[in-house]
Amino acid sequence: MEKRELTCICCPRGCMITVVTDGKNIGEVNGYTCRKGKEYAEKEVISPVRTVTSTVRILGGERPLTSVKTKTGIPKDRILACMQQINGIVAEAPVRIGDVLLEDVAGTGVPIVATKAVRPL
Amino acid sequence: MEQGSCLFLWMGQGRITIMYDICIIGAGVTGCAIARELSRYEADICVLERCEDVCCGTSKANSAIIHAGFDAQEGSLMARLNVEGNRKMDRLAKELDFPFRRNGSLVVCLHEEELPVLQALCERGVRNGVEGLRILSQKEALEKEPNLQNTVAGALYAPTGGIVCPFLMTIALAENACVNGVRFRFDTKVMSVEKADGFYRLETDRGMVESRYVVNAAGVYADVFHNMVSRHAIHMTPRKGEYFLLDRRAGTHVSHTVFLLPGSMGKGVLVSPTVHGNLIVGPTAVDIDNKEGTNTTREGMDTLAAQAGLAVRDIPLGQVITSFSGLRAHEDGHEFIIGEPEDAKGFVDAAGIESPGLTSAPAIGSMVAELLRERMDLQEKNGFVAKRKGIVHPLDLPEEEQSALIRDNPAYGTIVCRCESVTEGEILDAIHRPVGARSLDGIKRRTRAGMGRCQSGFCAPRIMELLQRELSVGLEEITKSGGSSRIVTGRLKESTMERSEKNSQEGEA
Amino acid sequence: MTIETYSVVVIGGGPAGLAAAIAARKAGILDVLILERDREPGGILNQCIHNGFGLHTFQEELTGPEYADRFIVQARELGVACELNTMVMGISRERVVTAMNREKGMFRVQAGAVILAMGCRERARGALNIPGYRPAGIFSAGTAQRLVNMEGYLPGREVVILGSGDIGLIMARRMTLEGARVKVVAERMPYCGGLKRNMVQCLEDYGIPLKLCHTVVDIQGRERLEGVILAQVDEKGRPIPGTEEAYTCDTLLLSVGLIPENELSLEMGVELDRVTSGPVVDENLETNIPGVFACGNVLHVHDLVDYVSEEAGRAGKNAAVFVTGRPAEGERRQIPLTAGQGVRYTVPQRICVERTEPCVKIRFRVDAVFQDSYISVYRNGERIMHRRKAVMAPGEMEEVILPGAMLEACTGSERIAIKIEKE
């Protein structure tokens, strides 16, 4: 078992949480001040996830790109693979907020969705 | 890059060789003033400039002061051209429509025992031909300039002292020269000058240029070119001067240009309003080796902070919006060198043009033009255009005219630079007028967009877009100030783009 | 010249302006006008494509453009008028707004109430007095953010970031994801200027070092940036000789602070707070000029947009109350609120004796990192509130709510102070 120290990101408070873990199981958790913080720390140690945001090129739109995000968090170690696929997407205007531009990014099962509308030219 | 009215002459196998009557090396204020005066005559004239725009060296980084002329040694060329240049300034500013104001200058004496030095300075000024000089008592000085140190012992008041926009002055001279037929070749660095049979051969990084006469207005590099053609060597030292520019909120802290009497406290720095309403503090004076050493330094800033307040109290140094540094072309003899070296006929120096060079520029222009007119028997041309209109700033106009302007051209209704309230119309004008802007700094010097308190944080992307559209170049090609000063290094998703472009090409095929 | 009239005119269509306009509209004002200088409403949110917005307001995590869109849609549905590409040139004390755009030229609007919501700008290099050359490749973080996220261009490939403000941290991640190499983030202060979450997810995730107590002491490269020199600073912020380290880079991003954009406010005679650089306001967010309100980053720089929306909502509502005729007032009796030990500033800076709301919400920032300390409120030297807080940092805004009961029987001669205490 090792002791991992991490900064909680659930709210601006930023508690310092220590988690005792062997990488698969959670031991003692200390330093959190709310339930969300404890959950975050446990999850962050076993299977950290991140929302990835970027932009995607748009053809025929009034602007050259739209912003996008992974609809939910994806495993942290898939971020770079995710970016590679995002870089490969080209969509056509119009685009609405929430439009799925890629069904399953980097084998995570998570879609890439537009976060900004782009009207056609 | 060439901007002007004539065409290239193509000779040989695709190599460009051009024979001009007169080539001017350097498009600073001196070179442009000379070009403008020479453009009155029938002659094929070209200005060669290594940077991408006019006003990129000493002319862009100085105190922006029109000196009265009491400083220079009696009988010197400096003294004569200073006073002459000062006198020419009202008419020139009117003809060419650039901002100039006689705000008057004060030389402040802090110690009673130095009053005789002040008196001597005044007398020298009178002998130099400076009009209206007067010694002020402490009370008079403080009445004129309430933010002077209360301990001021007296001051020399020079009502003919003034302030100018050195960018707009240089640009105006260049534009007017261009309209009158002078060609400007930018991004063209002269590598060597060589005497040939009755003409000079100038090797540039963009091919050979030949010219019957050469004017050397190369600023801190003037000694390099001079020494290529003459055995009577001259030597120029770049003298670094650092400055603070303060926000407009501080612009009324003084209304005159305030100098400190040179004396026991060292040379001191001046404090002055600028024609655009900012406050300028500087310069330092440090001799350096590097002719490209326009960096600011910690020591320089510390010196400025320490000396700024010697003559003027409570300068709000917290409102500095930018600092910059310029190099004065200081010749060992501390005198302007204007004329032909005896062993290099046809090569005219305008060298050693340090302060009061900006003030003297119109007089230097006339002097060099007159010299060449005599030597070359130049004839005045018909249709010389003496007047030039500057870029219209809508907010300076009365309301009805503003509205009319925006109705005629809606681009004048869109503010691009918020800090200085510069409109899209002004930026488009700056790009498309003669010797137009091609970089962010070029736009800035012509319109003030990006010169305000946010220092282009907001307007840079907008101006880049306008430059891209109007010059039909990629955004990646837009520079801050020419050369390799590109703003962005590439597009995102470059691989994707290439693929989609390829696809669309295939689609067309 | 055209003169229009609107009951409420909002200067700026960013998050603050939108929320203020919506709140005024919801409070029954039918004619609300937003004047926005950009080509679309939403302000800085349009370029903040990262997530993390809206946890407080919508209980979900949105990106900047999505958060803005919620407000834009609502404003549109409520019939809030909005003039885009319009620059406000001046406002008179009588609340006549002079503005300019392509279509109308110069025009005037008589406003019943004015809400200042112009936001803020980034501190530029000049204000920092960093010596060196002035090459291309030096950007404020927000300018780089716009170039990347809205124009689709990469400002550079090898990056050093000065200042650990949130935009700087966000851009460290953003540039990394787009293929640039972010070498280091240098922060002059002994603590990170941005949110914890950004420190973790933008720097730690990508192994980008954060060097506290460091600054840039030289800038190299005449045309395009070629490198910077970092040095450690002492407790007074002065570089320590001998600690210099050279970094080659083609890009320097500055994330060294935000300055409320109060040029319009100053010109019209609004009193500004020297610490916040924003207007001095009462608990209604009303400035010294009656009928002129302020909210969002023009009032004081926020770290969470949710707080901006909430604050702007109050400004909008109070502007509506002003327009519909608030309870008659003679001279406005106000109690000054002072920032005591450990507190940099408070907003509001004063409280009206005749309040329209029972409770008073006070936001403030501390001036250093405090652990296991107390937020104390004093009235005339008597402690009337005492609340423990595990951690407080300058980068994160704090809040106390004074219940009406604590302000009862005030006459205007009282003094209220907020302090940070160890016990």
Q: What is the pTM of this model?
A: 0.92
Candidates A55, A65, A90; nearest CB to B500:
A90
CA B50 and chain centroid, separation: 15
CA B65 and chain centroid, separation: 11
Q: Is the pLDDT confidence value at C1 over 70?
A: no
Would A42 be classed as within a structural domain? Answer: yes
Give me the pLDDT at residue B7, please: 41
Q: Is the pLDDT confidence value at C395 over 90?
A: no
Whole-angstrom Cα distance, residue C260 to residue C278?
A: 6
Q: Model confidence over B277-322: pLDDT tens digits?
A: 999 999 999 999 999 999 999 999 999 999 989 999 999 999 999 9
Angle in degrees, 0-180, between the axes of helices B166-179 and B77-96, rounded to the nearest 10:
70
Whole-angstrom Cα distance, residue B12 to residue B90?
A: 48
Q: Is the pLDDT confidence value at B3 over 70?
A: no
C201 phi/psi in degrees, rounded to 5: -85, -20
Q: Is the pLDDT confidence value at B504 over 80?
A: no
Residue B79 structure tokens: 């003294």
The answer to whether B459 touches B494, Cβ cutoff 8 Å, is no
Whether A62 and chain B come into contact, CB under 8 Å, resolves to no
What residues of C are in contact with residue A33 (Cβ under 8 Å)?
A: 390
CA of B454 vs chain A CAs: smallest distance (Å): 26
Q: Is the pLDDT confidence value at B496 over 60?
A: no
Amino acid letter at C311?
E
Whether C320 and chain A come into contact, CB under 8 Å, resolves to no
Positions of E strands within B247-386: 257-260, 270-273, 279-282, 286-287, 320-331, 337-339, 347-351
Candidates C63, C199, C391; nearest CB to A115:
C63
Whether B495 and chain A come into contact, CB under 8 Å, resolves to yes
The end-to-end CA distance of chain A, in Å, is 58
Per-residue DSSP letters for B464-493? HHHHHHHHT--GGG-BSSSTT-BS--EETT
Whether A116 and chain C come into contact, CB under 8 Å, resolves to yes
Residues of chain C numbered 72-91 and touching chain A (CB < 8 Å): none
Instruction: Identify whether residues A38 and A60 lie together within a single domain.
Output: no
What residues of A are in contact with residue C394 (Cβ under 8 Å)?
A: none
Give me the pLDDT at residue C191, please: 87
CA of A33 vs chain C CAs: smallest distance (Å): 9
Q: Model confidence over B126-144: pLDDT tens digits?
A: 999 999 999 999 999 999 9
**How many domains are there within chain A?**
2
Whole-angstrom Cα distance, residue C109 to residue B272?
A: 38
Local confidence band at B145 (pLDDT 50, 70, 90 cut-offs): very high
C263 phi/psi in degrees, rounded to 5: -60, -45
Amino acid letter at C148?
V
Residue A30 belongs to what domain range?
Answer: 2-47
b/e burial code for range C103-139 (CB count within 10 A of at least 16 → b): ebbbbbbebbbbbbbbbbbbbbbbbbbbbbbbbbbbb
The answer to whether B456 touches B450, Cβ cutoff 8 Å, is yes
Whole-angstrom Cα distance, residue B262 to residue B259?
A: 8
Q: Model confidence over A77-105: pLDDT tens digits?
A: 999 999 999 999 999 999 999 999 999 99
Q: Model confidence over B391-439: pLDDT tens digits?
A: 999 999 998 899 999 999 999 999 999 999 999 999 999 999 999 999 9
Whether C223 and chain B come into contact, CB under 8 Å, resolves to yes
Q: Model confidence over B56-106: pLDDT tens digits?
A: 999 999 999 999 999 999 999 999 999 999 999 999 999 999 999 999 999
Whether B9 and chain A come into contact, CB under 8 Å, resolves to no
The answer to whether C324 touches C8, Cβ cutoff 8 Å, is no
> Considering Cα of C311, then C303, then A48, then C144, what sign does the dihedral take?
positive
Q: Is the pLDDT confidence value at B11 over 60?
A: no
**CATH number among 3.50.50.60, 3.30.830.10, 3.30.1330.10, 3.10.20.30, domain C124-256:** 3.50.50.60
Whole-angstrom Cα distance, residue C94 to residue B173?
A: 45
Q: What is the mean pLDDT of chain C?
A: 93
Give the three-state DSSP class for B359.
helix
Q: What is the mean pLDDT of residues B330-350?
A: 96
Candidates C121, C135, C224; nearest CB to B458:
C121
Write the CATH number for A63: 3.10.530.10
| Residue B422 neighbours by CB under 8 Å, 6+ apart | B393, B415, B416, B447, B448, B449, B459
- Structure-derived torsion over alpha carbons of residues C223, C227, C232, C233, reported in degrees to the nearest 10: 10
The answer to whether C118 touches C20, Cβ cutoff 8 Å, is no
Q: What is the mean pLDDT of residues B317-337?
A: 94
Local confidence band at B502 (pLDDT 50, 70, 90 cut-offs): low
Q: Is the pLDDT confidence value at C363 over 90?
A: yes
Give the three-state DSSP class for B145.
coil
Q: Is the pLDDT confidence value at B498 over 90?
A: no
Instruction: Identify whether residues A40 and A77 lie together within a single domain.
Output: no
Q: How many degrees, rounded to 5, is the angle at CA B319 between CA B316 and CA B322? A: 125
B2-59+167-235+334-376 placed in CATH 3.50.50.60: yes
What is the fold of B105-159+237-329?
A: D-Amino Acid Oxidase; Chain A, domain 2 (3.30.9)
Give the DSSP letter of residue B310.
T
Q: Model confidence over A2-16: pLDDT tens digits?
A: 898 898 887 666 788
Write the CATH number for A23: 2.20.25
Annotated domain spans of chain B: 2-59+167-235+334-376, 105-159+237-329, 394-477
Amino acid letter at A28?
E
Given this chain, do its domains C1-121+258-326 and C124-256 carry the same CATH topology? yes
Amino acid letter at B348?
V
Answer whether B496 sits within 8 Å of A57, measured CB to CB: yes
Give me the pLDDT at residue A30, please: 92
C341 phi/psi in degrees, rounded to 5: -50, 130
Instruction: Identify whether residues A8 and A40 lie together within a single domain.
Output: yes
Residue B476 structure tokens: 């990646």
Residue C189 structure tokens: 């202060």
Answer whether B487 sits within 8 Å of C136, measured CB to CB: yes
Q: What is the mean pLDDT of residues C109-136?
A: 92
Instruction: Identify whether residues A28 and A72 lie together within a single domain.
Output: no
Residue B85 structure tokens: 């240049």
Instruction: Tally the C-alpha atoms within 13 A of residue B8's C-alpha that lie toward its C-beta.
Output: 15
Q: Is the pLDDT confidence value at C258 over 50?
A: yes
Whether C135 and chain B come into contact, CB under 8 Å, resolves to yes
Q: What is the mean pLDDT of chain B?
A: 92
Local confidence band at C369 (pLDDT 50, 70, 90 cut-offs): confident
Instruction: Identify whether residues A25 and A60 lie together within a single domain.
Output: no
Composition of chain A by helix, strand, coil, percent to 5: 25, 40, 40
Nearest to B108 by CA among B316, B312, B308, B372: B312
Answer whether B480 sits within 8 Å of C135, measured CB to CB: yes
B330 is catalytic: no
**Residue found by looking up tokens 């500087």 in the block:** B282
Whole-angstrom Cα distance, residue C138 to residue C238?
A: 22
Q: What is the mean pLDDT of residues B480-493?
A: 93
Instruction: Identify whether residues A73 and A35 lie together within a single domain.
Output: no
What is the fold of C1-121+258-326?
A: FAD/NAD(P)-binding domain (3.50.50)
The answer to whether C190 touches C184, Cβ cutoff 8 Å, is no
What is the fold of B394-477?
A: Arc Repressor Mutant, subunit A (1.10.10)
Annotated domain spans of chain C: 1-121+258-326, 124-256, 332-423
Candidates A7, A15, A57; nearest CB to C199:
A7
Give me the pLDDT at residue C137, please: 97
Local confidence band at B448 (pLDDT 50, 70, 90 cut-offs): very high
Beta bridge partners of B491: C153
Give me the pLDDT at residue B495, please: 57
SS (H, E, C) chain C: CCEEEEEEEEECCCHHHHHHHHHHHHCCCCCEEEECCCCCCCHHHHHCCCEEECCCCCCCCEEHHHHHHHHHHHHHHCCCEEECCCEEEEECCCCEEEEEECCCEEEEEEEEEEEECCCEEECCHHHHCCCECCCECEEEHHHHHHHHHHHCEECCCEEEEECCCHHHHHHHHHHHHCCCEEEEEEECCCCCCCCHHHHHHHHHHHCCCEEECEEEEEEECCCECCEEEEEEECCCCCECCCCCEEEECCEEEECCCEEECCHHHHHHCCCECCCCCCECCCCCCECCCCCEEECHHHCCCCCCHHHHHHHHHHHHHHHHHHHCCCCCCCCCCEEEEEECCCEEEEECCEEECCCCCCCEEEEEEECCCEEEEEEEEEECCEEEEEEEEEEECCCCCEEEEECHHHHCCCCCCCCEEEEEECC
Q: Model confidence over C228-257: pLDDT tens digits?
A: 999 999 999 899 999 999 999 999 999 999
| Residue B207 neighbours by CB under 8 Å, 6+ apart | B15, B16, B17
Q: Is the pLDDT confidence value at C114 over 60?
A: yes
What is the fold of C332-423?
A: Immunoglobulin-like (2.60.40)
Candidates B461, B475, B485; nearest CB to C223:
B485
Give me the pLDDT at residue C400, please: 94
Q: Is the pLDDT confidence value at A36 over 90?
A: no
Give the DSSP letter of residue A77.
G
CA of A107 vs chain C CAs: smallest distance (Å): 19
CA B327 and chain centroid, separation: 12
Would A120 be classed as within a structural domain? Answer: no
What residues of B are in contact with residue A55 (Cβ under 8 Å)?
A: 492-493
Whether A20 and chain C come into contact, CB under 8 Å, resolves to no
Nearest to B421 by CA among C71, C267, C46, C186: C267
